[in-house]
Structure 1
Amino acid sequence: MRCPYCQSEDTQVKDSRPAEDGAAIRRRRICPDCGGRFTTFERVQLRDLVVIKKTGRKVPFDRDKLMRSFDIALRKRNVDPQRVERAVSGIVRQLESSGEAEIPSGDIGTLVMEALKALDDVAYVRYASVYRNFREPKDFQEVLGELRGEEETS
């Protein structure tokens, strides 16, 4: 693993332990050249996923970008980080086991919406406002109406 500080090719693993409920391995590393310390995560990747954007452009799937979407929607919300990690890992597993190597970005957005709805209503509305491209206050009212309707039927 290359050192992110000095770009040295030789780094040493100082500690390894399971992370993300056993779905990943967290490794603490040190660079013998500059003394820099950093953490890496090792995860199973079943296949290389490609996201098809609305414009038709294809980009490699980025788990970190998915996590950032959750972080933005959940900003200043009191949600357990482990629940968020489980939701992201669940989406990635679902995408990898779908049998498709190319996934439309809209499908990923729908999965994120479902996961956020289960985690936090405010984050769900925040994400929906961007994902569905809200233009007027009535757009928010419609989503809030959907949430109220589900609460009443539960």
Structure 2
Amino acid sequence: MKCPFCGYPNTKVQDSRSIENGLVIRRRRMCPKCGAKFTTYERFEGGTLMVIKKDGRREKFSREKLMGGIVKACEKRPISMDKIEEITNALEARARKVGTEISTKEIGEMIMKELRKIDQVAYVRFASVYRDFRDIDQFIEEIGKLKGDKDNG
């Protein structure tokens, strides 16, 4: 693999390990030219998964968009990139099990379910965009639901 820092074409694998229940291989690499170290991930891409948008259009599933939405919701929160990667991997696997098509509604609900488990602020951030909150009352209502769950749990 080419070094992302200096462009040298032949980096060396220092360590490989299986993660995500054997679905992903994590490789630590080093460039013999500049000495930079970096990590790569190897995963099975599977067949084409199409996402059905709200307006009925279909587009190819994008892992980057999925992860980007989660990263945005978790910004400035105590959630590691490893945890975000783990959630992204789990959600992608779940989406692929659904079949060859999945709606943005199903994806959004899956993301909210995961975020609700790990961080209430990230959950409300994502929900506010996903559900298109228009005013403060919608935030208060969602926070009330979280507070009710916490009081009952």
TM-score strictly above 0.5? yes
Whole-angstrom distance in 2 between the partners of 1:13 and 1:96: 32
Conserved? CA contact 2:3–2:10, under 8 Å: no
Shift of 1:4: 7.3
Q: Structure 2 vs 1, CA of residues 20 and 66 (structure 1 numbering), >3 Å: closer, same or farther?
A: farther
Equivalent residue in structure 1 for 2:12, among 5, 14, 31: 14
Conserved? CA contact 1:67–1:88, under 8 Å: yes
Shift of 1:38: 6.9
Work out whether 1:147 is the aligned partner of 2:143. Answer: no
Whole-angstrom distance in 1 between the partners of 2:19 and 2:2: 23
Conserved? CA contact 1:29–1:40, under 8 Å: no
Structure 1's unaligned 5+ residue stretches are none
Conserved? CA contact 2:2–2:11, under 8 Å: no
Q: Structure 2 vs 1, CA of residues 74 and 142 (structure 1 numbering), >3 Å: closer, same or farther?
A: same
> Counterpart in 2 of 1:53?
53
Whole-angstrom distance in 2 between the partners of 1:50 and 1:87: 20
Work out whether 1:94 is the aligned partner of 2:94. Answer: yes
Structure 2's unaligned 5+ residue stretches are none
Shift of 1:25: 2.2
Encode CA deviations 1:93-143: one digit per residue, 9 max, x unaligned: 111122x10111111000000011011000000011100000111000110
Shift of 1:19: 5.8
Whole-angstrom distance in 1 between the partners of 2:51 and 2:2: 27
Q: What is the SS of the residue equivalent to 1:41?
A: strand
> Counterpart in 2 of 1:82?
82
Identity %: 37
After the TM superposition, which of the residue ranges 75-84 and 111-120 deviates more from structure 2?
75-84
Q: Structure 2 vs 1, CA of residues 57 and 29 (structure 1 numbering), >3 Å: closer, same or farther?
A: farther
Q: How many residues are paired up?
A: 149
Shift of 1:57: 1.6
CA RMSD of aligned residues (A): 2.7
Q: Structure 2 vs 1, CA of residues 2 and 102 (structure 1 numbering), >3 Å: closer, same or farther?
A: farther
> Counterpart in 2 of 1:121?
120
Work out whether 1:68 is the aligned partner of 2:68. Answer: yes
Counterpart residue type for residue 75 of structure 2: R
After the TM superposition, which of the residue ranges 130-139 and 21-30 deviates more from structure 2?
21-30
